[in-house]
Amino acid sequence: MTTPNTAPSTMDALKAWLVGRPEFRPGLLILAAVVFAGIYFSPTPNSMVQLLTEHQPLGYQTETTIIEHLQHLYHDDTIDVDEGARKIKVVTGIVVIAALLWGTAAMPIGATAFLIAVIMYMTGLMPVKMISHLFMKDAVFFIIGALAMAVGVEKTGLDRRLGLLFLGWTNNKYTFLFVFGPLMAILSMFVSAKCLIAFLMPVIMRLYKNLCRENGQERNPDLGLFLIFTMIYMTAMGGPGAPTVGARNVIMMDIFEELGKPMTFIEWMYFGFPFVPVGSIVVGFFLLIAFGRKVPNNINPGKHVKKDVEMLGKFTQKEGIMASILLFVVFLWVFASGTYGLGGPAILGVVLMFVTGIIEWPDMNNKVSWGIVWMYAAAVGLGKVILETGTGLWMAREAFGFLPTFLTTGEGLLITCSVITTITTNLMNDGAAVAVIGPITMPMADLAGLDMWKVGLATAFSSSFAHCLVIGRPGLVIAYTLGTDPETGERLLSLGKLFKYGLVLVFISWAVLWGWCFYGYWQFLNF
């Protein structure tokens, strides 16, 4: 009797182990470790040394060198050029493996967040107390509060009444795409996109389930993606429309003022608003092409939303309390965020929901995705160290250094700004991207023969194109968390799908920005 060859089965077993399963892919974890080690032990580039010793480097807020600034910031006089370069390599490695692990779900997203903290601790990136502070920023409390209030809105049924307001008149997928979608884009110019997503996602998910049943289906993931993408991509298209969109636009207005050419609210809208309707309509056609055949033609969102509201009956006391809390929190966000931030009012809203009996602790424990919260905390902290260590500035300069001349002059510079800002904002966050890229690109305006407003707006507008990675903007974090089947808990928006469709939309967004703005109506406006 011959003994069968076991080599193929051993290799198959090894391959299967390396591939693993969702949230445990050893092959990718090994790859991440190798990549990080390669970056960490690589020779220090001369450009990195020059940046660290340069006096008042453009794009970095300091009156000294980066090394001296870090010595003062970390209360450590032993930090020298070698140590500064090591920190930049550590942060660069973290950025790469964070994008790899979050983008592929090679391990749970919360675990990846903890891994980032572990690397910061183990490599001595900064003092221990400062690392812990990084993970508890105002933006993190905002995410916790927004997710918790979404639970309260859904539990009381208020989400269905909000759905009636926004969706009651949509009777097919075309009105959903080309009327509801642009409405969300315009609203997001004045009402935070992340708030719109947080309060309407429960409605969208309930609508998904009702539409599935209407068509005799238990599940239809493509329909779910169609509904979710309409919400998150349309609100992104409102980004260039007004300064009130978020920190990214306010930061750019501050830069304009510092450089001696301030811009008014109306002037920003004059240059930015025409992008919003065109961008939202183009997104509508993109989603129609991507999902048109996968989504039934007979969907009637308005009918189902009206049915849900009829089943609720009269407006209840708890709905009234929840609506009052919601309005109070939104009021504080709009008129008192300068004093209390966004996180303070959000957490106050959570406390009020507990005090009034709207939610109980099991609601918070079971329905708020704490892994997502930790992921966003890590992303916010990572964005901070990218700025402080000079890593973002070094990356941006390296990217600009490889560009041919035609991409650093005239409208070519606008294209360069948009590409680099888009990449940066997907890896960090929109405000941090503008803070890093803006001061680098603005002085190049004169050399390129362009008005500084053009270069600044090109940078700020492109920070709205965080379509690929969930860490890019809070709205994506919220949509990823709440984008589940309300009955089975099946996650409809995966990280892979977000990257796949988001990458396509990045190119589409660039095409609209370049063709409609840079080479379109901007040519006829006076800057």
pLDDT tens, residue by residue, 286-299:
999 999 888 877 77
Query: Percentage of residues in the chain with pLDDT exceeding 70?
Result: 95
pLDDT tens, residue by residue, 377-431:
887 788 788 878 888 788 877 877 777 877 877 788 899 889 988 988 887 667 7
DSSP state of 201: H
Residue 2 pLDDT more than 60?
Answer: no
The pLDDT, as a whole number, for residue 281 is 96
Taking the C-alpha atoms of residue 472 and residue 376, their distance in angstroms, rounded to an integer, is 9
CA distances (Å), origin 100, targets 40, 59, 106, 214, 467: 16, 27, 8, 39, 16
**Ranges 169-183, 265-279, 299-313: which has the least confidence:** 299-313
Taking the C-alpha atoms of residue 86 and residue 494, their distance in angstroms, rounded to an integer, is 34
Triad 23, 135, 497: Cα angle to 5°: 35
The pLDDT, as a whole number, for residue 52 is 93
The pLDDT, as a whole number, for residue 194 is 79
Taking the C-alpha atoms of residue 7 and residue 12, their distance in angstroms, rounded to an integer, is 9
In SS3 terms, 103-118 reads as: HHCCCCHHHHHHHHHH
Pick from 213, 177, 190: which is nearest to 265 by CA? 190
Residue 8 pLDDT more than 70?
Answer: no
Residue 59 pLDDT more than 80?
Answer: no
Residue 77 pLDDT more than 70?
Answer: yes
Helix (H), strand (E) at residue 256:
helix 247-258
Residue 16: CB atoms within 10 Å: 10
Taking the C-alpha atoms of residue 218 and residue 524, their distance in angstroms, rounded to an integer, is 52
Distance of CA 67 to the CA centre of its chain: 30
Candidate ranges 154-168, 232-246, 305-319; pick with highest mean pLDDT: 232-246
Q: Where are the alpha helices (DSSP H) in 123-192?
A: 128-134, 138-156, 158-167, 173-175, 181-187
Average pLDDT, stretch 445-462?
85
